[in-house]
């Protein structure tokens, strides 16, 4: 259903620079060649009546309401399907046209409920608008004939209803599902009067393939497909444009609000990352923001066995400051540290690292990127000179070959996946490198040309095998590599990958991927001409994560796939602002902008600006903080919006570390798993309650705008500022834009960034400076950021985590569409209906060998620990490999994962854990303990009410 703000020009903008001149109702106008007459008329200020067209979809020409007269042509062509021609003269209004349109509308209205006054779309319904536009006053056919008014609504989807009695069969929903989303869940079933919209095989929406992206709801001109929130709350009265706080795609939304309540989130057509599309999380799963579990008052307690006491902000901040001072006086300056949040804004993240460096006086700061994309930072900086992806999402439109490695975009980055699928349906080739049959391998109208179904842990062998074929068959782009990179290093690399050791046959032995598939995929990638690599945590979360990132950059440089549209190496980053949190200096060895602490010029610039001396020594990484806590030398931690007790590997180890600290401060929305070990709780704010910026996977900085006041009284940046002031280091910002001004002042890649500029341009992709004042969509054009691209040798080293007689299977982990990260937000929304628990996917052969039946409980045991999940027997898996997600605390996936990590960055090896799986009936020992601990913590939380009373 239409948004309250969008202007719809009827049909899409053609992609051309050529223009033609036409005359609409006597008014001359110049429009893009290929525009429809309807679009030209809309640009000339005339809205031709229409129902079946909308400018996000190709025209269909079914409603016959948009008829016009064209000089020199017979009849009344539909303006939505008629392209303009130079010199064309169009008339959109005449008595005859008015008659024809009224006739069409009479037919529609004669089979439509006349409940406008009580309809949730009243005032925002295109059918109602059109009845007014054509001047409909009576329906000559009456309302007594055959009709669909008794058709029953489908309310199965938790977020929207489908009321077929209001359907005008315009097929906008069907086309949205196909063209925009690429799921093909809807069809028009039946013929003539019997034709109707069918989900799946004429099933309820919830039972069909529908992924609840909302594109059909957005496209529907009537109240047939309608958000349940609009039924419940009525039409919104204002909108605020903001950015999704879930994944790294960074979709822009218009929050439609009534009072201080969000009625719905409407994807922003002008959003430069999402172009008006969304997924189920950003579109619908915002209910957690006012969930009763939200903690809205600061709390303190002496030990984690005590009940919480609600206190004023002043008392909580004062207590936190005195505890941290006490710890530093007793155990030393380095005994405290903090974690920035990749869910918070750039400004908030920047403030936390500033607090740690300037007020704590050490560099013990880290972020969740440690456990996801730190190898991306290391690998891309080493080879190309900058720690970020090379392309904008839009670049995929120009790709001829797309290689997806260790990523599952339809689940993890759904809106980008829809864009990628459009390109694939239009003819680009697809290579998937993944141990599992992800949806992209075979989805409606798309089939991967090659699926390299490798054994977990063998990425580097496979990338070397692909490079081997390209180099030994003379398919490399020597001219590009020799000109843009160091020729000597390139020659060494060619010799390295050309070794027999990395022949397809040998790589087949290492990885399980057939030699012929490696050869064919390599040839396809080299042929391009534009070949692009997209990758995810299936690349980085390995003991050789950084090596693999380097290997992909090597391959792209060797084939000349860098520095233009349609190519490049693009990480699909997980959390909404994980790029930003890394950019903002969240790592213990780097100041904002990825500048090493040992760089005295940079350090001095910060010292001067901040008015303090900075410790030149890098601080502790997250795993080192845990180790130091267990050693007794690290005693206090400030954690902003991060739940590592659930998300990080080897849960038992982390739990012990948490118990050994004296003051853990958690700033979050809920009593999450980490907060259960906290002594001080600062109630945080959601993305709807603050101003700031997020940076998505394309380096795109977008504004987050406050929709409502923070429910706990302070936005996260204000809490950090108040904590700093309580510690005695003054911070006096009055708005996050002032923090961004400071970031720009001190960080060359952000030099030209300001809130005003982002507001004006919609977004800015860094680097943004004097040379590129409006930002940089594509990196490394003409020259790599580091000067010459660097080829680095990527020797394959088998992980220590191997299957054995005791642990014969390899566990790999990932995520699913409807849940996000630790699930703290999405589990508090109806998204839970799609995913009530994490399950273990296992191949039928492995299941049969172990007597495992689909839907029954199995234990998964590794050398780190054991948990129990429900088994899903599926051929998605290859024999010898099992898979699960980590969205539910009790499922305890990370009890099983180990502390193995990337050699360069300590990024944990989540993707390879040797395990044994066996049928069981009871929960594991850890689960029993966890349940008891959790219940006890919930009870202690509840007691705060009693204390207050």
Span from 273-281, 318-326, 785-793, 921-929 in contact with ligand SF4 (CB under 6 A) = 273-281
Binder of residue 675, out of ligand FES, ligand SF4, none (CB less than 5 to 8 A by kind) = none
User: In what order do the strands lie in the sheet containing 365-367?
Assistant: 309-310, 299-300, 680-683, 663-668, 636-640, 336-340, 365-367
* # of chain residues touching ligand FES (CB under 6 A): 12
Cβ closest to ligand FES, residue 61 vs residue 713: 61
**Minimal distance in Å, beta carbon 188 to ligand FES?**
14
Q: Which is nearer to ligand SF4, 170 or 895 (CB)?
A: 170
Residue of 20, 119, 177, 727 interacting with ligand SF4 (CB under 6 A): 177
DSSP H helix total and E strand total for the chain: 30, 36
Query: Which of 24, 37, 131, 197 is the binder for ligand SF4 (CB under 6 A)?
Result: 197
Q: Does 321 bind ligand SF4 (CB under 6 A)?
A: no
Q: How do strand 450-452 and strand 429-433 relate by DSSP bridges?
A: parallel
Pairing between β-strand 531-535 and β-strand 401-405 as defined by DSSP bridges: parallel
Measured from the CB of residue 831, what is the shortest distance to ligand SF4 in angstroms? 11
Q: From the list ligand SF4, ligand FES, none, which binds 222 (C-beta under 5 to 8 Å, kind-based)?
A: ligand SF4
Chosen from ligand SF4, ligand FES, none, partner binding at 50 (C-beta under 5 to 8 Å by type): ligand FES
Q: Which two tokens stand for residue 877?
A: 């898996």
Q: Is 167 one of the binding residues for ligand SF4 (CB under 6 A)?
A: yes
Q: Which stretch binds ligand FES (CB under 6 A): 63-71, 504-512, 847-855, 871-879?
A: 63-71
**Smallest distance, Å, CB 53 to ligand FES?**
4
Structure tokens at 608: 């001067």
> Is 107 or 437 the residue whose CB approaches ligand FES more closely?
107
Residue choice 22, 52, 211, 941 for contact with ligand FES (CB under 6 A)? 52
Could you tell me which of 745, 695, 741, 689 has the C-alpha nearest to residue 718?
689
In the structure encoding, which two tokens stand for residue 553, read together? 């950059």
- Binding range to ligand SF4, per CB under 6 A, among 177-185, 346-354, 766-774, 932-940: 177-185
Contact call for residue 47 and ligand FES (CB under 6 A): no
Select the span of 45-53, 223-231, 542-550, 796-804 touching ligand FES (CB under 6 A): 45-53
Measured CA to CA, the distance from residue 360 to residue 240 in angstroms comes to 37
596, 617 contact by CB (below 8 A): no
Residue number with CB closer to ligand SF4 (60 or 796): 60
Measure the CA–CA gap between 348 and 179, rounded to whole angstroms.
Answer: 38
The separation between the first and the last C-alpha atoms of the chain, rounded to the nearest angstrom, is 47
Residue 78 binds which entry of ligand SF4, ligand FES, none, CB below 5-8 Å type-dependent = ligand FES
Regarding 130 and contact with ligand SF4 (CB under 6 A), the answer is: no
Could you tell me where the DSSP H helices lie in 747-880? 755-761, 844-850
Residue 219 found at the interface with ligand SF4 (CB under 6 A): yes
Binding of ligand SF4 at residue 182 (CB under 6 A)? no
Radius of gyration of the chain (CA): 29
Whichever of 221 and 385 has its CB closer to ligand SF4, that residue is: 221
Residue with Cβ nearer ligand FES (48 or 230): 48
Alpha helices by DSSP H, listed for 747-898, are 755-761, 844-850, 893-896
What is the largest distance, in Å, between two alpha-carbon atoms of the chain? 92
d(CA 447, CA 459): 22
Candidate residues 38, 70, 225, 481; the one interacting with ligand SF4 per rule CB under 6 A: 225
> By the 8 A CB rule, do 671 and 295 touch?
yes
Q: Which of residues 294-333 bind ligand FES (CB under 6 A)?
A: none
Stretch of 161-169, 388-396, 520-528, 641-649 contacting ligand SF4, by CB under 6 A: 161-169
Which region among 98-106, 221-229, 466-474, 722-730 touches ligand SF4 (by CB under 6 A)? Answer: 221-229
Exactly one of 78, 213, 384, 869 binds ligand SF4 (CB under 6 A); which one? 213
Is 279 near ligand SF4 (CB under 6 A)? Answer: yes
**Which partner in ligand SF4, ligand FES, none is near 666 (CB below 5 to 8 A by kind)?**
none
Contact 423, 399 (CB under 8 A): yes
CA distances from 673 to 11, 343, 576 (A): 49, 16, 21
Cβ-Cβ contacts under 8 Å for 535 (sequence gap 6 or more): 404, 405, 406, 407, 549, 552, 569, 570, 571, 572
- The answer to whether residue 249 forms part of the interface with ligand SF4 (CB under 6 A) is yes
Cβ(546)–Cβ(919) below 8 Å? no
- Token pair for 903: 């050699």
Q: How many residues bind ligand SF4 (CB under 6 A)?
A: 40
> Is there binding between residue 175 and ligand FES (CB under 6 A)?
no
CA distance readout (Å), 329 to 261, 320, 332, 614: 46, 14, 6, 18
Considering only residues 375 to 414 of the shown chain, the ones binding ligand SF4 according to CB under 6 A are 414
Beta carbons of 190 and 178 less than 8 angstroms apart? no
In the list ligand SF4, ligand FES, none, the entry touching 186 (Cβ below 5 to 8 angstroms by class) is ligand SF4
Q: Which of residues 52 and 675 has its CB atom nearest to ligand FES in the complex?
A: 52
CB closer to ligand SF4 out of 181 and 906:
181
Q: Are 412 and 536 spatial neighbours (Cβ–Cβ below 8 Å)? A: yes
Output phi, psi for 711, to 5 deg: -65, -25
Q: How far is CA 434 from CA 403, 443, 501, 850, in A?
A: 11, 16, 22, 25
Q: Which is nearer to ligand SF4, 393 or 587 (CB)?
A: 393
Question: Omega of the bond prior to 529 within 30 degrees of 0, cis?
Answer: yes
- Name all contacts of 685-689 with Cβ < 8 Å and 24+ positions apart: 685/710, 685/711, 685/712, 685/714, 685/715, 685/716, 686/245, 686/288, 686/289, 687/242, 687/243, 687/244, 687/245, 687/343, 687/576, 688/242, 688/255, 688/262, 688/286, 688/289, 689/289, 689/715
Q: Can you tell me which of 79, 128, 278, 511 binds ligand SF4, judged by CB under 6 A?
A: 278
Helix, coil or strand: residue 935: helix
User: Which is closer to ligand FES, CB of 68 or CB of 664?
Assistant: 68
Backbone angles phi, psi at 727, to 5 degrees: -80, -10
Stretch of residues binding ligand FES (CB under 6 A), selected from 55-63, 388-396, 465-473, 803-811: 55-63
CA distances from 874 to 3, 839, 841, 913 (A): 41, 11, 6, 20
Nearest residue (CB) to ligand FES, 63 versus 403: 63
Q: Which of 44, 215, 339, 402 binds ligand SF4 (CB under 6 A)?
A: 215
Which range, of 51-59, 529-537, 667-675, 908-916, touches ligand FES by CB under 6 A?
51-59
| Least CB distance to ligand SF4 at residue 443 (A) | 12
For position 176 contacting ligand FES by CB under 6 A, the verdict is: no
Among 29, 40, 51, 847, binds ligand FES (CB under 6 A): 51
Q: Is residue 78 involved in binding ligand FES (CB under 6 A)?
A: yes
In the complex with ligand FES, the residue whose CB is nearer, 10 or 908, is: 10
Query: H-helix or E-strand containing 632?
Result: none
Residue choice 37, 63, 285, 402 for contact with ligand FES (CB under 6 A): 63
CA count, 13 A, side-chain hemisphere, 703:
23
Check binding of 62 to ligand FES (CB under 6 A).
yes
Which of 86, 84, 85, 130 is closest to 107 using CA atoms? 130
CA gap 272, 278 in Å, rounded: 12
Smallest distance, ligand FES to C-beta of residue 161, A = 24
Binding positions for ligand SF4, rule: CB under 6 A: 167-173, 176-177, 181, 183, 185-186, 197, 210-216, 219-222, 224-225, 244, 246-247, 249-251, 274, 278-279, 281-282, 414-415
Binding positions for ligand FES, rule: CB under 6 A: 50-53, 61-66, 78, 80
């Amino acid at each position: 259903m239409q948004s309250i703000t969008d202007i719809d020009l009827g049909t899409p903008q053609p992609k051309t620079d050529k223009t033609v001149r036409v005359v609409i109702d006597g008014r001359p106008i110049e429009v893009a060649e290929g525009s429809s007459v309807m679009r030209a008329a809309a640009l000339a200020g005339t809205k031709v009546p229409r129902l079946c067209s909308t400018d996000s979809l190709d025209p269909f020409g079914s409603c016959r309401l948009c008829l016009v007269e064209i000089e020199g042509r017979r009849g009344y062509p539909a303006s939505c399907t008629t392209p303009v021609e130079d010199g064309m003269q169009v008339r959109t209004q005449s008595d005859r046209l008015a008659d024809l349109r009224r006739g069409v509308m009479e037919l529609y209205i004669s089979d439509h409920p006349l409940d406008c006054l009580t309809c949730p779309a009243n005032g925002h319904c295109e059918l109602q608008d059109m009845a007014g536009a054509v001047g409909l006053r009576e329906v000559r056919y009456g309302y007594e004939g055959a009709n669909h008014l008794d058709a029953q609504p489908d309310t199965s989807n938790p977020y929207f209803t489908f009321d077929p009695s209001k359907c005008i069969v315009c097929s906008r929903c069907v086309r949205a599902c196909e063209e925009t989303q690429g799921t093909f869940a809807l069809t028009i079933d039946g013929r003539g009067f019997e034709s109707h919209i069918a989900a799946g095989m004429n099933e309820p929406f919830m039972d069909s393939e529908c992924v609840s992206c909302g594109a059909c709801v957005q496209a529907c001109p009537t109240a047939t497909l309608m958000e349940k929130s609009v039924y419940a709350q009525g039409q919104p009265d204002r909108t605020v444009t903001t950015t999704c706080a879930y994944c790294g795609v960074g979709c822009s939304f218009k929050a439609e609000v009534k009072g201080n309540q969000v009625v719905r989130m409407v994807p922003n057509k002008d959003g430069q990352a999402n172009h008006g599309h969304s997924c189920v999380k950003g579109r619908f799963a915002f209910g957690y923001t006012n969930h009763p579990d939200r903690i809205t008052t600061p709390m303190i307690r002496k030990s984690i066995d005590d009940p919480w006491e609600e206190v004023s902000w002043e008392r909580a901040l004062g207590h936190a400051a005195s505890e941290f001072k006490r710890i530093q006086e007793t155990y030393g300056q380095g005994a405290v540290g903090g974690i920035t949040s990749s869910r918070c804004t750039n400004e908030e993240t920047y403030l936390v690292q500033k607090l740690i460096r300037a007020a704590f006086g050490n560099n013990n700061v880290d972020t969740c990127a440690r456990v996801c994309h730190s190898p991306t930072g290391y690998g891309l900086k080493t080879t190309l000179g900058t720690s970020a992806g090379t392309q904008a999402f839009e670049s995929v439109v120009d790709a001829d070959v797309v290689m997806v490695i260790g990523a599952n975009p339809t689940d993890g980055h759904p809106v980008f996946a829809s864009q990628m699928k459009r390109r694939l349906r239009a003819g680009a080739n697809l290579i998937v490198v993944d141990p599992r049959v992800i949806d992209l391998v075979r989805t409606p109208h798309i089939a991967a040309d090659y699926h390299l179904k490798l054994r977990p842990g063998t990425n580097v062998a496979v990338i070397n095998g692909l490079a081997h074929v390209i180099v030994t068959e003379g398919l490399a782009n020597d001219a590009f590599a020799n000109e843009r990179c160091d020729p000597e290093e390139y020659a060494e690399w060619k010799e390295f990958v050309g070794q027999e050791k990395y022949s397809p046959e040998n790589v087949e032995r290492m990885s399980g991927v057939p030699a012929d598939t490696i050869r064919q995929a390599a040839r396809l990638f080299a042929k391009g001409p534009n070949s692009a690599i997209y990758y995810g945590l299936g690349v980085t979360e390995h003991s050789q994560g950084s090596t693999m990132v380097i290997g992909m950059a090597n391959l792209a440089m060797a084939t000349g796939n860098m520095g233009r549209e349609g190519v490049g190496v693009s990480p699909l980053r997980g959390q909404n602002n994980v790029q930003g949190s890394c950019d903002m200096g969240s790592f213990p060895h780097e100041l904002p902008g990825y500048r090493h602490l040992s760089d005295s010029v940079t350090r001095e610039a910060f010292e001067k600006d901040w008015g303090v001396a900075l410790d030149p020594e890098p601080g502790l990484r997250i795993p080192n903080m845990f180790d130091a806590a267990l050693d007794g030398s690290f005693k206090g931690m400030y954690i902003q919006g991060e739940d590592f007790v659930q998300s990080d590997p080897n849960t038992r180890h982390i739990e012990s570390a948490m118990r050994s600290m004296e003051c853990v401060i958690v700033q979050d929305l809920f009593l999450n798993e980490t907060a259960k070990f906290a002594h001080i709780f600062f109630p945080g704010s959601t993305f709807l309650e603050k101003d700031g910026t997020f940076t998505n996977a394309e380096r795109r900085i977008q504004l987050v705008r406050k929709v409502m006041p923070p429910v706990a009284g302070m936005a996260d940046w204000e809490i950090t500022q108040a904590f700093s002031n309580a510690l005695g280091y003054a911070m006096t910002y009055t708005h996050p834009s002032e923090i961004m001004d400071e970031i720009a002042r001190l960080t060359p890649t952000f030099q030209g960034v300001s809130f005003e500029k982002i507001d004006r341009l919609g977004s800015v992709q860094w680097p943004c400076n004097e040379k590129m004042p409006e930002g940089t969509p594509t990196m490394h054009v003409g020259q790599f950021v580091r000067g010459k691209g660097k080829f680095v040798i990527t020797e394959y080293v088998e992980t220590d985590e191997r299957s054995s007689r005791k642990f014969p299977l390899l566990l790999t982990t990932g995520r699913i569409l409807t849940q996000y990260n630790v699930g703290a937000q999405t589990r508090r929304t109806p998204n839970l209906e799609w995913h009530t628990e994490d399950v273990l996917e296992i191949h039928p052969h492995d299941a049969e060998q172990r007597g495992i039946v689909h839907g029954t409980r199995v234990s998964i045991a590794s050398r780190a620990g054991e948990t129990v999940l429900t088994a899903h027997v599926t051929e998605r898996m290859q024999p010898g490999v099992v898979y699960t997600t980590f969205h539910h605390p009790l499922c305890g996936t990370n009890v099983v994962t180990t502390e193995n990590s990337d050699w360069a960055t300590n990024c944990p090896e989540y993707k390879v854990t040797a395990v044994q799986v066996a049928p069981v009936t009871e929960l594991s020992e850890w689960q029993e303990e966890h349940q008891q601990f959790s219940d006890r913590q919930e009870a202690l939380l509840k007691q705060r009410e009693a204390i207050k009373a």
